[in-house]
Amino acid sequence: MSLTPDWVKDAIFYQIFPDRFRQGAGPMGMPAPLRQDFEPWEATPTLRGFKGGNLWGVIEKLDYIRELGFNAIYFCPIFASTANHRYHTTDYFQVDPMLGGNEALRRLIEEAHQRGIRVVLDAVLNHCSRGHFAFQNILENGRFSPYLRWFHVYGFPLNAYSGKANYAAWWDNPELPKFNTSTQEVRDYLLRVAEFWIEFGIDGWRLDVPNEINDDSFWQEFRRRVKAKNPQAYIVGEIWDDARRWLQGDQFDAVMNYPLGRAVLGFVGGETLDKDLAAKSGLGRIESLQALAFSHRLEDMFDRYHWDIVTAQMNLLTSHDTPRLITLLRKDLKRTRLALSLLYTLPGAPMVYYGDEIGLEGGHDPDNRRGMIWREELWQKPILDSIRHMARLRQGQPVLRRGKYQRLYAQDGHLAFARIHEHQALVVTVNTLDEPWKPVIPLHGVWARGQEARDLLSGTPAICHRGNLEAIHPLPPLSLGVWALE
């Protein structure tokens, strides 16, 4: 029996920050009446400014998303909020009117599902906005409020708009009061939120800072309630490091696989990677890795969890919480392409942050949340082509989606590994150096002698000779090959 939703093994995720993706018109009379007074789309984002992207704009670009091979979307929060990122939730049962309201989400789910695209929403359950109705009740009524036990209040009057917060808040930010999830009414409220949107038609939840609800029983009940509504719903947590506590089969299906992303950046980026920029973000200080150290990191991650969980991990390089990929790699186009391509060959579901596919730049928050560029003449077409090509390859090769990982060769900047599933095997060769490399790879019984192979990306031939895969032509600098038997 599968521990995780089957569809996730075949998923390629696209992450969208709704305010920055696209402005769509939407039907007349629907929510989101605002048409002006937004920040200019092309201007550098500000911490508080809105650019006016909405769900109608996403609907208009679903064909673009699908054509690039993405069959799942993870949305940053979309519920009513006073912040452009919407991690300050004021109403968990209402899609923000600026995004188009509940009707826009309903239409988006219908249109996405018609195209075979799944929809995963962001659940911010640890904390809410100080504009949330329950917190507002305390602001108005003080110690007489019936909602006192919904939060951790230390004194009155509440310092919600001046001075240090005298209540528990996320990172002591007074805008974000922390729920008291030991109160049964709060638990029931939040779990009903989870059920409501699954019933509405979404395909899963990404859980924001779930480790800060330090209560296994809450997440176990969350899983039971969600899976009762849809057994194939995906539950993925934002855990940045070792996640064994939450991946025992009774809480989350998977996590956002930041450790894998850091390893890929350390291997492909090498000394080109802007380590100081990464260190000032959630990525932390990234170590440069040679091939053997990189492979050891991968093997440790793959051994850490049940294989069914490994193939459902949300693998990513960057997100709304990190600098942009091409900026981290100092605008090195070849390394950017290689890092993204490698992501598509590893166990787990790849995820690409909107704009990374066209080389959108950006440093620290809020600069990493720029408006998507829709002028094609400004796109980095080689990255786009790699994304499209790798998606087709992954979709056409079940072994890349479900196959085990076996290291074959690792030295300096050269790595070769096999993906093996049932009676099929592919060999991936990775060259992270600036010189060509003519691979001679020990196959360790993966394929028989005397057979011919071909790189599915370039068409370059190779032969299996004396237990080795021997390429006829060198692998170009900063590139990879995916070899299959003829």
Compute CA 331 distance to the chain's CA centroid, rounded to the nearest angstrom: 21
Distance CA 259, CA 265 (A): 10
* Residue 44 per-residue DSSP state: P
Q: Which helix (H) or strand (E) covers residue 261, if one does? A: helix 258-264
19, 175, 238, 308: the active-site residue: 238
Distance CA 357, CA 336 (A): 10
DSSP assignments along 265-325, one per residue: IIIIIGGGS-HHHHHTSTT-PPPP--HHHHHHHHHHHHHHS-HHHHTT-EEES--TTS--H
Specify which residues 256 forms β-bridges with: 314
- Type of residue found at 116: G
Q: Which helix (H) or strand (E) covers residue 328, if one does? A: helix 325-328
| CB-based contact 41:21 (threshold 8 Å) | no
* Residue 69 per-residue DSSP state: T
Quick check: helix, strand or coil at residue 437?
strand
Tell me whether residue 434 is one of the annotated catalytic residues: no
DSSP assignments along 212-249, one per residue: GS--HHHHHHHHHHHHHH-TT-EEEE---S--GGG-SS
Helix axes 216-229, 184-200, angle to 10 degrees: 30
Q: Give rounded-to-5 percent helix, strand, coil for the chain.
A: 35, 20, 45
Tell me whether residue 42 is one of the annotated catalytic residues: no
Distance CA 118, CA 362 (A): 27
Question: Regarding beta strands 404-411 and 254-257, do their DSSP bridges make them parallel or antiparallel, or are they unpaired?
Answer: unpaired
CA distances from 151 to 156, 175, 183, 210 (A): 13, 13, 9, 17
| CB-based contact 123:226 (threshold 8 Å) | no
96, 175, 208, 356: the active-site residue: 208
Q: What is the largest CA-CA distance in the chain?
A: 82
Residue 409: CB atoms within 10 A of its CB come to 22
Distance CA 281, CA 323 (A): 7
* Active centre residues (catalytic): 208, 238
